[in-house]
Amino acid sequence: MRCERCQTQFAYQVTREFTGEGVSPYMLDNAGAQERARAAAHKGLEHSLANAKDDVPCPRCLSYNADAALRLKKAKFSWLFILGLLGALGTLTISPVLVGDRTTPVAITAAVLLVGFGISGGLLFMRSRGMSNFDPNSEELRATRQATLAKKKTILREQHEALMDSARAAGKADELIQIAWV
């Protein structure tokens, strides 16, 4: 990975789990089903690892790249989106009942719909404002970024190359993980 801010190249440990499924009709091909499950899990895991994008800051300048910063913003305010969506769906669900009920005064029906959609819209607006005001790269969150780095076992390209050089000198280069630097 390359930092968009300081151009430092770094890598980090990615962990994913994947399960596969194989079917053995009438239990006639259990070994085949087990092999199909293993192959499906392996294929799914390879795909998951190839597309893995974790939110890891640069170990040198502690900045998140734009895509990671956006994912962090969305994650932080996802609860507002869910509440706003649930409120809108709830209002849409109750609206046919209120409109179809001839005993409910029109003013009450209109008020319930306006309040329901107003609260839902307000929650979605709060999410939008929160996302635009939240900066995962702010100085106040520097300690959080350092903790994320520690958990992800981040390594700089030059550190990895130095490890590779010493492993080659000791005849143990195949014991180290190879990284394709982009």
pLDDT reported for residue 50: 82
Q: In this predicted model, what pLDDT tens digit does every residue of 6-18 receive, in sequence order?
A: 999 998 878 888 8
Q: What is the largest CA-CA distance in the chain?
A: 88
Say how far apart CA 176 and CA 10 lie, in whole Å. 16
pLDDT reported for residue 71: 93
pLDDT reported for residue 182: 65
Strand partners, 155: 11
Q: In this predicted model, what pLDDT tens digit does every residue of 103-162 receive, in sequence order?
A: 778 888 888 889 999 999 999 999 999 999 999 999 888 888 888 887 777 888 888 888
- Mean pLDDT on 65-70: 93
- Residue 102 reports pLDDT greater than 70: yes
pLDDT reported for residue 20: 87
* Residue whose structure tokens are 């009709």: 25
Q: In this predicted model, what pLDDT tens digit does every residue of 43-55 receive, in sequence order?
A: 988 888 888 888 8
